[in-house]
Amino acid sequence: MSNDERVDPFASLSQFKPKTANTQPVADAADIEKISKDNGFPSREAQPVSVPSGKRARHKSAEPRVQLNIKVTQACHERFYDMAEERNVRLGDLLSAALDALVIVEKSQAGM
């Protein structure tokens, strides 16, 4: 069987033609807005974003960061976040300072 004898898989598609553009009339934008308001449809325009007042962003550091996921009690979680807020530091920086303090305490206890 040569290439000339092969069946064209697209031969049966010749009966399909592309649709013409704008087959249906488009309504005026003002009319659409009036109809939507009259029928109680809400606008899909973006609402202004409000910044949460409780917590500040804790990112944008010069050093590369990695994720540390740990399970803690709710009280420990709240205490940790409160301490970071009070000191105005990032969570990772607070953890680093806490680890440094632990090393100092352990060294002082070992020297006694």
pLDDT tens digits, 40-86 = 887 777 777 776 666 555 555 577 888 999 999 999 999 999 999 99
For the chain, state the CA radius of gyration. Answer: 33
| 26-30: average pLDDT | 83
Q: Is the pLDDT of residue 1 over 60?
A: no
Share of the chain above pLDDT 70, in %: 83
Give the residue, 100 or 27, on which the prediction is more confident: 100
Is residue 55 within 8 Å of residue 81, measured between CB atoms?
yes
Q: In the 8-state DSSP scheme, what is residue 1?
A: -
* Domain edges within the chain: 74-110
| pTM of this prediction exceeds 0.85 | no
Residue 68 identity: L
